């Protein structure tokens, strides 16, 4: 911990200014151009964390906040025309990157990566990232508050607790890694000064016992050591604490419960990327808005049907599967179990299903389609971003029967395009989708409570009833849903919730207004 003792503390004058926020994230989509040289070329995304981190940093920066970001130097992913980001920075503006607000963790393990995570090196990359954040970036930035994201940053809260810097820890999912303290320290992180802030699977009697005989649970450490923790939906937080998901380890449940019952836990919903907008989406040809959705969706439906080989029928209800084909979480087996009967029962109106997704169940759907010769009624294609966006714009409904969902994004993206969600009532879905009322004046989807094929079939039947509503009434409801979704599901709303939480943790505004 010598880095901290050698670094002068921020002066009283500095602390009187807007508080300095350091966001520590292994993923990013983009950064504001004014934050540093080459900021717009930085993109390393595996999931929703990248979008949330980017939108939050952008919102803070635009508001004039003193925001900094720490992330790994994925030089290959950040490169342009074969030139490393650091090399390009040196060629253009000498050493501007590190002196501004972007702080890259340097280690060879990041440089040649093609993707953020891989099965072999995740824990090594996490330790290298945190080593640089702990030993170099925090002493340099001297933040007033640190915001960490998921297990790859979960040792940082233990340090922040030791040096008394408030730390927010965000859970985007519940994956964790378990490492010995020996593994941690052998990678250059001196945990001897704060080992008591780590979460061990069984309580150690002393430092030597902790180092040699016990395992550190990374995610549980982040929860245990942080000053405040948030999940990406309020309902998922409650579900974990109440033990509704048996696959979540007891340590995570216990530590989240401790935080919740001490008023140090909350839920903040993510938002879809801003590009999910039918007026401006550059991946679709036929743009539309809430006023012109009838014509726009009809044109996109025709294009989608032609592209994937479905019967060209403007009146056929089209359901879209937008999520990876993972039976453990996404519930794709529920759709597979009822697929043939569903198409048979709604043969007269020509019900269609488009699946643009990859995963374990992809072969199962192909087998069903081939066996029953459903090629003109059911299309199965591997995930492709452009085709996926067309499907959002073309479809009448999405199907999202997730068994559990920390947040979920498709159920928020789809209504932007006037595509109504058919969903299981769980986690972030519960917080974002309400069942449509009979008069169409409230609600934005069709939600079933009992996880299973009967529940999913009931919700699809409800969607078909909606599809058969008089055109004027249905159009008015879709217009309302599109308008409300645009106002509700956006990065500005998400960022505002985080900024409010920062201010609460610090006891003062994030933005220092001067006269």
* DSSP collapsed to 3 states, 454-507: HHHHHHHHHHHHHHCCCHHHHHHHHHHHHHHHHHHCCHHHHHHHHHHHHHHHHC
Report how far apart, in Å, the C-alpha atoms of 32 and of each of 22, 60, 116 are. Answer: 15, 10, 21
Give the three-state DSSP class for 515. Answer: coil
Give the three-state DSSP class for 366. Answer: helix
Sequence-distant (≥ 6) Cβ neighbours of residue 441 within 8 angstroms: 477, 480
Return d(Cα 117, Cα 244) in angstroms, integer. Answer: 28
Return d(Cα 406, Cα 170) in angstroms, integer. Answer: 12
List b or e across 118-139, with b for residues whose CB sees 16 or more CB atoms inside 10 angstroms: eeeebbebbbbbbbbbbbebbb
Two structure tokens written together for 323: 């999520």
Return d(Cα 62, Cα 52) in angstroms, integer. Answer: 15
Return d(Cα 406, Cα 267) in angstroms, integer. Answer: 10
pLDDT at res. 7: 43
From first to last of its 515 residues, what are the pLDDT tens digits of the chain? 445 544 445 544 454 578 999 999 998 888 888 887 667 778 878 777 888 888 888 888 888 889 999 999 988 888 754 444 445 444 443 344 445 799 999 999 998 888 888 877 889 999 999 999 999 999 999 999 999 999 999 999 999 999 999 999 999 989 899 999 999 999 999 999 899 999 998 888 888 888 888 899 999 999 999 999 999 999 999 999 999 999 999 999 999 999 999 999 999 999 998 899 999 999 999 999 999 999 999 999 999 999 999 999 999 999 999 999 999 999 999 999 999 999 999 999 999 999 999 999 999 999 999 999 999 999 999 999 999 999 999 999 999 999 999 999 999 999 999 999 999 999 999 999 999 999 999 999 999 999 999 999 999 999 999 999 999 999 999 999 999 999 999 988 998 999 999 999 999 998 765 44
Element (H, E) at 420: strand 420-424
pLDDT at res. 513: 58
Which pTM does this prediction carry?
0.89
Return d(Cα 465, Cα 316) in angstroms, integer. Answer: 13
If phi over 0 gives left and psi between -120 and 50 gives alpha, with beta otherwise, what is residue 234? alpha
What letter does residue 380 receive in the DSSP assignment?
E
pLDDT at res. 28: 86
- Cβ atoms of 25 and 153 within 8 Å: the answer is yes
Sequence-distant (≥ 6) Cβ neighbours of residue 511 within 8 angstroms: 18, 63, 64, 65
Residue 512, Cβ neighbours under 10 Å: how many?
13
- 191 HSE (CA, 13 A, CB side): 30
pLDDT at res. 34: 81
Q: State how beta strands 20-24 and 215-217 pair.
A: unpaired
Element (H, E) at 72: strand 66-72
Q: At which residue do the structure tokens 């180092």 appear?
A: 211
Q: At which residue do the structure tokens 């714009």 appear?
A: 393
Q: At which residue do the structure tokens 């074969």 appear?
A: 82
CA neighbor of 199 nearest in space, from 120, 27, 184, 505: 184
């Amino acid at each position: 911990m010598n880095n901290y003792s050698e670094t002068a503390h921020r002066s009283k004058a500095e602390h009187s200014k807007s508080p300095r926020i350091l966001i520590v994230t292994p993923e990013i989509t983009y950064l504001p151009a004014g934050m540093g040289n080459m900021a717009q070329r930085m993109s390393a995304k595996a999931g929703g964390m990248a979008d949330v981190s980017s939108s939050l940093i952008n919102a803070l920066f635009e508001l004039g906040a003193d925001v900094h970001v720490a992330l790994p130097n994925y030089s290959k992913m950040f490169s342009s025309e074969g030139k490393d980001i650091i090399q390009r920075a040196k060629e253009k503006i000498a050493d501007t990157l590190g002196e501004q607000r972007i702080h890259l963790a340097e280690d060879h393990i990041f440089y040649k990566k093609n993707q953020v995570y891989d099965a072999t090196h995740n824990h090594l990359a996490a330790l290298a990232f945190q080593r640089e954040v702990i030993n170099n970036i925090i002493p340099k930035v001297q933040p007033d508050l640190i915001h960490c994201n998921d297990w790859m940053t979960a040792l940082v809260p233990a340090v922040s607790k030791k040096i008394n810097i408030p730390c927010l820890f965000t859970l985007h999912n519940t994956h964790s890694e378990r490492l010995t303290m020996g593994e941690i320290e052998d990678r250059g992180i001196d945990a001897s000064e704060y080992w008591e802030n780590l979460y061990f699977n069984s309580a150690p009697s002393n430092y030597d016992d902790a180092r040699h005989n016990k395992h550190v649970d990374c995610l549980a450490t982040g929860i245990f050591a942080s000053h405040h923790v948030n999940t990406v939906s309020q309902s998922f937080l409650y579900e974990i604490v109440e033990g509704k998901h048996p696959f979540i380890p007891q340590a995570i449940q216990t530590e989240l419960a401790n935080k919740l019952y001490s008023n140090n836990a909350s839920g903040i919903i993510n938002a879809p990327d801003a590009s999910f907008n039918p007026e401006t989406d550059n991946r679709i040809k036929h743009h539309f808005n809430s006023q012109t959705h009838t014509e726009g969706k009809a044109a996109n439906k025709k294009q989608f049907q032609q592209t994937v080989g479905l019967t060209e029928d403007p009146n056929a209800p089209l359901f879209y599967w937008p999520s990876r084909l993972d039976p453990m979480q996404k519930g794709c087996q529920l759709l597979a179990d009822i697929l043939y009967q569903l198409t048979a029962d709604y043969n007269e109106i020509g019900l269609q299903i488009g699946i643009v997704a990859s995963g374990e169940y992809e072969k199962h759907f192909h087998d069903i389609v081939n066996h029953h010769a459903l090629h003109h009624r059911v299309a199965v294609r591997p995930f492709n971003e452009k085709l996926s966006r067309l499907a959002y714009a073309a479809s009448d409904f999405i199907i999202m029967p997730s068994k559990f969902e920390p947040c979920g994004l498709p159920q928020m993206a789809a209504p932007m395009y006037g595509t109504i969600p058919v969903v299981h009532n769980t986690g972030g879905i519960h917080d974002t989708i309400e069942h449509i009322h009979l008069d169409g004046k409230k609600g934005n989807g069709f939600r079933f409570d009992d996880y299973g094929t009967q529940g999913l079939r009931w919700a699809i039947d409800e969607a078909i009833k909606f599809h058969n509503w008089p055109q004027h009434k249905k159009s008015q409801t879709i217009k309302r849903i599109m308008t409300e979704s645009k106002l509700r599901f956006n990065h500005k709303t998400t960022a505002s919730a985080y900024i409010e939480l920062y201010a609460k943790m610090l006891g003062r505004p994030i933005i220092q207004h001067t006269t």
